[in-house]
Structure 1
């Protein structure tokens, strides 16, 4: 049993390229709150959101890649620290995280820390990802978790985590890649499927997504 999820505010890191991928079908306040929590906790200057074109472990997105991309752009417009990276949508085809990280590493050079943010649910499914054991050759992994949650790891993943676990968050900027750090935040209990279901039921999605996204969904009759 792994219990080393940190709840204290970590030291300012600032240095590093931070990325968070997802289907964002649609992006909602839960996604955005997590991104802001990471920026505020570690004082990173920016965070890139990378919407995927075709998720490998989920069904086809409900709306087009272009519509999901537009909603991400609308969602982050109020915070200049957030940006969108459309490379997976432009690449098309199945979106493999390792391929994206390799591209980013080539662009950043070999010295810049590259930090991939994932939720605990995604981290627990890591052994099903393509080339998952190679991810740390090109990036760090920052896992965000709920307070008080002690994850139950399968043995393969637990060994991987223990081998690469950072002793402090500052290790994420002492090397370009290779470490795993777990940080606890209190998430907003919102899911994309919840938003989609409310739309299908013709119920309000106010306060679950930014107003600009709500208007976009309504204007284009999405998720009906």
Structure 2
């Protein structure tokens, strides 16, 4: 995301491929390339507005985000307006409680609802807190494992791990723009 410091990352095309590999075979899910065709940086608010211009209403959209990332929502472009463009489904992550996530954006506490309320949500948008058992996996952990020469197959689906390793993603080579599959 544009608001984060530069660390080894993957190109948009690789992130698209990784997502497609991760959800392959899961009914009802698809990967969108909407943000890949844009010039310059892509921001959540712009993407949500585009979806609205395609006929979706804010109450029909759910932006799914980890609690650790949501804790940084106040640093996002167009905060707090972006929260009015979609529901936000905040997924609990190991080490991040609702209290710790909301401490950084305390003005939002009144908007938080249990996910069951999504079924009876009135007009407008809300922040739904989803208590779920999720694995303790992060891109930081993946980068650290790769830097130490350790396997990541226990952290991500096998096709995702193969793609990351085959294309040298999340390594120092990647930080310096050395995309191994890019044609010269």
Distance 2:58 2:44 in 1: 20
User: 1:68-116: per-residue Cα shift (whole Å, max 9, x none)?
Assistant: 2112111111212321112222214222111111111221343761111
Tell me the TM-score normalised to structure 2 length.
0.75
Partner of 1:151: 99
Partner of 1:41: none
- The higher-RCO structure (CA 8 Å, 6+ apart) is 1
Q: For residues 220 and 142 of structure 1, do their structure 2 counterparts lie closer, same or farther at Cα, with a shift above 3 Å needed?
A: closer
Partner of 1:115: 62
User: 1:143-194: per-residue Cα shift (whole Å, max 9, x none)?
Assistant: 1224893514448x323331x2337633466446421221211220111222
- The structure with the greater share of residues assigned to strand is 1
Partner of 2:80: 133
Q: Structure 2: 5+ residue runs without aligned partners?
A: 172-184
Q: For residues 102 and 111 of structure 1, do their structure 2 counterparts lie closer, same or farther at Cα, with a shift above 3 Å needed?
A: closer
Partner of 1:74: 21
Tell me the TM-score normalised to structure 1 length.
0.64
Q: Report the count of equivalent residues.
A: 169
Q: Structure 1: 5+ residue runs without aligned partners?
A: 1-53
Runs of at least 4 residues of structure 1 off by over 6 A?
none
Contact 1:56 1:94 in 2 (8 A): no
Query: In angstroms, what is the RMSD of aligned CA positions?
Result: 2.8
